């Protein structure tokens, strides 16, 4: 599991959500500011229009009066010199004739009949003011585009910081959320990386109050599981140990009975009893091995050379008369260091070899190989194990399709050992490079420094 690609990553949701929220609030503030700015600009520009009209009109009236002819009619005054104008104006007489205008003034802009105060045309905002009982009227116009341009420039000035701050805020929020979630990620990593045999409490120090309760609940669950597994292992080990003596005594009596009674039904019955007691004895031994595999102590304090251990296990099979089919291959230098405990490895190797002897083709050799890296490979011939059966062979008391008798615990014991040792057990059928057979491969754990 990875926190960087998960679609429902809390870190990603918080970072994107907070960034989107901040951006949305900023945009809302910009919209509200734009409305206020537009209103304030309108007031300022209207005030400028009115102020311009109030200042120009008295001066224009005086100039026009000075130019009146003998009949009292004002003559048209030349336009002022050309320059860049945001405001244009015209001064009219009572008849509407233009007496004075700015050089950029367009008569079409002032085509409507002047009305005192402010009015809007298609493209201008106009202010009108009359004096001398309506003898002179001034109209001052400003392009509405000028106002829009000023408003857009003000909004752009507000948006420009957002273009810079939005990515910075996303990075800042991501870093802050990552730092805030670090204890939670550490808790997740602690739970995800530990093996099935590690039921020690998880570290809850530094967790937020809302997550600390989850850590405490996990520790309570681990504690209950640990007590349950310890009770199960103790019961299995004690039961198997207690059964060894009565089974051995009963087996001795059955074997004595076989030796004493003559050939016939009674001796045959005694032999069947002996066979059942031997199976019960093997089952008891397997249960003790299972308890040993699940009881800890699988990893040694220092790396050990397991090649001699494997050679000794194979030699035991030869001494018992079951090793004729075994083909042992050890590293060229004869060394295979591993962090696995030697006794646990011996149990592991014995169970894998017994499984191959019992369920493999009786006429095919069994390859037992160990690499210099400590990997163990056991291959036997025989029919292909179906994939659905192969997936269940590591389960306790699970048996494959082989007609051979077995307790169903050999591969379960091997799996328990490799899990507690941090190693891996993989099963393949057909075997690698073959069209039939069965292969068990144990990849070693990392050596303890």
For the chain, give the mean pLDDT.
Answer: 77
For residues 23 and 143, membership in a common domain is answered with yes
- Is 382 a domain residue? yes
Match 């045959």 to its residue by tokens.
268
Q: What's the CATH number where 200 sits? A: 1.10.287.130
Q: How far apart are CA 411 and CA 417, in angstroms?
A: 10
Per-residue pLDDT of 158-198, as tens digits, reads 777 777 777 787 788 788 877 777 787 788 787 777 766 66
* 277 vs 59, higher pLDDT: 277
265: number of Cβ within 10 Å: 8
Read off the pLDDT of residues 115-155 as tens digits, 9 standing for 90 and up. 788 888 878 888 888 877 677 788 888 888 887 888 888 87
Q: Is residue 359 part of a domain?
A: yes
| Cα separation, 231 vs 226, whole angstroms | 8
pLDDT of 379 higher than 90: yes
Whether 242 and 361 map to the same domain: the answer is: no
| pLDDT computed for residue 444 by the predictor | 79
CB 108 within 8 A of CB 83: no
Separation CA 264–CA 128 (nearest Å)? 138
Higher-pLDDT residue of 289 and 310 is 310
**Are residues 207 and 91 both part of a single domain?**
no
3-state secondary structure of 436: coil
Q: Does 374 reside within a domain?
A: yes
Query: Does residue 394 sit in the same domain as residue 427?
Result: yes
Looking at residue 68, the DSSP 8-state letter turns out to be B
Co-location of 368 and 327 in the same domain: yes
Give the residue-averaged pLDDT of 35-57.
76
Question: Distance (Å, rounded) from C-alpha 19 to C-alpha 352?
Answer: 57
Q: What percent of the chain shows pLDDT beyond 70?
A: 79
Calculate ∠ Cα 341-427-389, nearest 5°: 130
Q: 317 and 255 in one domain?
A: no
Is the pLDDT at 297 greater than 70? The verdict is no
- Residue 173: inside a domain, yes or no? no
Residues 135 and 200 in one domain: no
Last residue of a domain, one of 295, 320, 340: 295
Q: Tell whether 115 is covered by a domain.
A: yes
Same domain, 239 and 215: yes
Q: Residue 30 — very low, low, confident or very high, per pLDDT cuts 50/70/90?
A: confident
Is the domain of 19 the same as that of 120? yes
The answer to whether residues 278 and 357 belong to one domain is no
pLDDT at 5: 42
> Which pLDDT belongs to residue 1?
42
Angle made by CA atoms 51, 56, 62, in degrees to the nearest 5: 145
Domain holding 60, by residue range, is 12-149
Q: Among 149, 169, 185, give the residue marking a domain's end.
A: 149
Question: Is residue 132, in this structure, part of any structural domain at all?
Answer: yes
Lowest mean pLDDT among 28-42, 191-205, 243-257: 191-205
- For the whole model, what pTM was predicted? 0.49
CATH number at residue 326: 3.30.565.10
- Degrees (nearest 5) of the Cα angle 32, 34, 40? 105
pLDDT exceeds cutoff 50 at 279: yes
Please give the structure tokens belonging to residue 289. 């091995």
In a domain, residue 138? The reply is yes
Same domain, 91 and 67: yes
pLDDT above 90 coverage of the chain, percent = 4
CB 357 within 8 A of CB 324: no
Query: Which domain-ending residue is among 275, 295, 315?
Result: 295
Q: What CATH number is given to the structural domain containing 78?
A: 3.30.450
The number of domains in the chain is: 3
- Residue closest to 291 by CA, chosen among 195, 393, 413, 411: 413
263 by DSSP, 3-state: which? Answer: coil
pLDDT at position 34 over 50? yes
225's tokens = 């599981």
Q: Is the residue at 184 inside a domain? A: no
The answer to whether 143 and 102 are in contact (CB under 8 A) is no
**Distance, first Cα to last Cα, the chain:** 28
For residues 135 and 253, membership in a common domain is answered with no
Residue 411's pLDDT is 83
User: 135 is written with which tokens?
Assistant: 């003898």
Dihedral angle computed from the Cα positions of residues 171, 175, 180 and 182, in that order, rounded to the nearest 10 degrees: 140
């Amino acid at each position: 599991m990875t926190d960087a690609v998960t679609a429902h990553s809390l870190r990603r949701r918080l970072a994107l959500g907070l960034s989107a929220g901040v951006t949305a609030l900023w945009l809302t503030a910009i919209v509200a500011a734009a409305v206020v700015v537009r209103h304030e600009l309108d007031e300022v520009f209207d005030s400028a229009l009115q102020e311009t009209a109030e200042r120009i009109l008295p001066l224009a009236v005086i100039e026009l009066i000075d130019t009146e002819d003998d009949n009292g009619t004002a003559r048209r005054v030349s336009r002022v010199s050309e320059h860049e104008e945001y405001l244009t104006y015209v001064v009219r007489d009572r008849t509407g004739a233009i007496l004075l205008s700015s050089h950029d003034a367009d008569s079409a802009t002032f085509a409507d009949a002047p009305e005192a105060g402010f009015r809007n045309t298609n493209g201008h905002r106009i202010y009108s003011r009359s004096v001398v009982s309506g003898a002179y009227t001034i109209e001052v116009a400003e392009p509405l585009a000028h106002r829009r341009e000023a408003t857009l420039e003000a909004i752009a000035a507000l948006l420009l910081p957002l273009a810079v701050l939005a990515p910075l805020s996303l990075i800042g929020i991501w870093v802050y959320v990552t730092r805030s979630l670090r204890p939670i990620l550490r808790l997740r990593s602690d739970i995800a990386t530990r093996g099935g045999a590690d039921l020690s409490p998880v570290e809850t120090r530094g967790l937020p109050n809302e997550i600390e309760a989850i850590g405490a609940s996990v520790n309570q669950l681990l504690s209950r599981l640990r007590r349950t597994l310890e009770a199960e292992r103790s019961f299995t080990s004690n039961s198997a140990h207690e059964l060894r003596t009565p089974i051995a005594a009963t087996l001795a009596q059955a074997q004595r009975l076989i030796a004493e009674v003559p050939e016939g039904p009674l001796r045959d019955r005694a032999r069947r009893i002996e066979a059942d007691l031997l199976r019960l004895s093997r089952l008891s031994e397997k249960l003790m091995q299972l308890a040993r595999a699940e009881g800890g102590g699988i990893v040694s304090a220092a790396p050990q050379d397991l090649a001699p251990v494997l050679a000794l296990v194979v030699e035991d099979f030869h001494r018992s008369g079951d090793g004729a089919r075994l083909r042992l291959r050890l590293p060229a230098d004869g060394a295979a260091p591993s962090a696995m405990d030697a006794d646990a490895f011996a149990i592991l190797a014995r169970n894998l070899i017994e499984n191959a002897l019992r369920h493999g083709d009786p006429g095919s050799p069994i390859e037992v190989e160990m690499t210099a890296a400590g990997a163990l490979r056991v291959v036997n011939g025989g029919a292909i194990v179906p994939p659905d059966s192969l997936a269940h062979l590591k389960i306790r008391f699970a048996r494959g399709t082989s007609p051979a008798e077995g307790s169903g615990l050999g591969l379960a014991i091997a799996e328990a050992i490799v899990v507690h040792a941090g190693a891996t057990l993989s099963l393949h059928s057909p075997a690698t490079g073959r069209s039939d057979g069965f292969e068990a491969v144990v990849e070693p754990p990392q050596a303890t420094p």
